[in-house]
Structure 1
Amino acid sequence: MTNYTLYYSPGAASMAVHWMLIESRLPFELCFIDINQGAQHSADYLRLNPAARVPTLIVDGVPRHESTALLMLLAERHPEAGLAPAPGCADRAEWFEWMVYLANTLLPAMRDWFYADSDGDPAGTEAVRALAERRIGQALDRMGEQLADGRAYFIGGKLSTVDFLAVMLMRWTRNLPPKATSRANLMPYITRLRALPSFIELNKKEGLTDWSNPAS
């Protein structure tokens, strides 16, 4: 079986890929990149990822990037894990839609909010964050509408890559004005997903303690 190497930083965009590797029980190695100390800008890491971001996943000896693309790639390479609807399945189109929506709409808005003062003109920080906040809130509303019927997972009645990506992005809202946990339609879903053994193991491996279910 293929061994993967994941370059990650705790709680960053690598989190969803790390979670999928754990849930799929795939063999992999972890390489910690301390983005708070600027390790993503080191010469060694830039050779793997010129964009200076995590994640990077070594696949068959080749560095690959972009969390959403990596989730979809792993689902394609390991269909036995059942983490994406099979080609031709009725849920396949909805899976594509949600993966692209989260990657193209919510994830960029989150980046705009967090990096408004460094990615662009600092003078425009307030306006950029205000727009990002509105877009994040709208995305959370749409996600809440999807989950309003009490379904356990986003699509198809089973865990998929959409859930890994969605929960990671929901976690990122924990210190933002629009919080996923403040939405009544999202909270049961969040509680259910945070109780998964793979999510608990993920948090343990990444040393994360600030977005878990209360101890019973």
Structure 2
Amino acid sequence: MTKYILYGWHNCASASIRWILAELGVAYEYRLVNLARGVEEQRDPSFRALNPKGRVPILLIGDEHEPLSESGAIAFYLGESHPDAGLLPAVGTPGRNKFLETYTFVINSHLPVMRDWLQVIREVEDGPLQAAVAKGGALPVPLASDAAEVRGIRKLALRRLVANLGVLEAELADHDYLAFRDSPSVIDFVFTITTTWEPFIHQLIANKFPNLKAYRERMHARPTWAPLAIEEKVAEDLGPLRDWEQEYAAFLQ
């Protein structure tokens, strides 16, 4: 029996866990949970029994299949459980405190901003969510109720995102990886996956953050990335900005 069972979906937070597992060389069973609207398997009662929050990833651990959710927690657990891989600084070692600081920044500051940006994208591209009522609440409650509110959320998210990326850009001025390390840690796999989610973020890094751009290329050069990118359906070229994104092109300057 494999030690781990991972529930996930294409090119989202669960991909970072798959990447870490690949780096560890650990066997695991992968169970795809279709998050597409109209399917939304994460709302199935059997899935909710594993994670009442209805999110992926979920890692089932050991013979008892103990569930662990939240990508940050899972990544930390894997790094701690496989110390020989060197993906997490041990307690008392040089760089441990800096790792914890930067890791917390990525989890607490960067990931929530990315979720806000992606949520308003879903609302724009999928249209109004009044259908939630007709489906008995099967869809999530809208983050924003009108176009003006959506624009405000986008602009706030982008301002915060630019500020957050600036912090990470500075960290990479003299080091190849985050948290002032010369080899990758779990934080690098958690963060790098987020840069593949959406064209605007891809362009933002390419245009404004040369250290992050080189860092992303460095991470994507790892042997574990290419097969994962195929399995996760990551687009090699994220393409040009969509029409509605042109309104925010000033952020790319």
TM-score exceeds 0.5:
yes
Q: Which moved more, 1:198-207 or 1:130-139?
A: 198-207
Q: 1:172 to 1:207 in 2, by over 3 A?
A: closer
1:22 and 2:49 aligned: no
- Equivalences for 1:12-91 in 2 at 5 Å? 12-36=12-36, 37-60=39-62, 61-91=65-95
CA distance in 1, matches of 2:19, 2:8: 11
**TM-score normalized with structure 1 length:** 0.90
CA contact (8 A) 2:19 2:224 kept: yes
1:152 aligned partner: 176
Q: Deviations over 1:27-75 (max 9, x none)?
A: 1110011111311111221111111111011012111100011000111
Question: Which ranges of structure 2 fall in alignment gaps of 5 or more residues?
Answer: 124-140, 239-253
Aligned length: 211
The answer to whether the 8 Å contact 1:137/1:178 transfers is: no
Q: Give distance in 2, aligned partners of 1:119 and 1:168.
A: 25
2:168 equivalent among 125, 130, 143 = 143
The corresponding residue for 1:132 is 157
Q: Assess, with a 3 A threshold, how the Cα gap between structure 1 residues 125 and 113 changes in structure 2: closer, same or farther.
A: same
Q: Which moved more, 1:50-59 or 1:164-173?
A: 164-173
Amino acid at match of 1:152: D
Inter-partner Cα distance in structure 2 for 1:21 and 1:12: 15
**Among 99, 121, 128, the residue aligned to 2:144:** 121
Q: After TM superposition, where is structure 1 displaced by more than 4 Å over at least 4 residues in a row?
A: none
State the secondary structure of the residue aligned to 1:15.
helix
Q: RMSD of the TM alignment (CA)? A: 1.9
Q: CA deviation at 1:106?
A: 0.7
Instruction: Give the residue type in structure 1 aligned to 2:177.
Output: Y
Deviations 1:178-208 (A, max 9, x none): 6222221211111111010111121122232
Q: Which amino acid letter does the alignment assign opposite residue 35 of structure 1?
A: L
State the partner residue of 1:111. 115
The equivalent of 2:230 in structure 1 is 204
- Secondary structure at the aligned position of 2:21 is classed as helix
Between 201-210 and 79-88, the greater mean CA deviation after superposition: 201-210
* 8 A contact 1:33–1:39 mirrored in 2: yes
The CA distance in 1 between the partners of 2:67 and 2:218, in whole Å, is 33
Match of 1:102 in 2: 106
Name the TM-score, length of structure 2 as normaliser.
0.78
**Which residue of structure 1 aligns with residue 212 of structure 2?**
186
Q: CA deviation at 1:210?
A: 3.0
Structure 1 residue 170, shift from structure 2 partner: 2.1
SS at match of 2:195: helix
**Shift in Å, 1:129:** 1.6
Name the structure 1 match of 2:3.
3
Deviation at residue 122 of structure 1 after TM alignment: 1.7
Q: Is the 8 A contact 2:195 2:201 kept in 1?
A: no
Shift of 1:176: 4.0
> Cα distance, 1:172 vs. partner?
2.8
Q: Which runs of 5+ in 1 are unaligned?
A: none
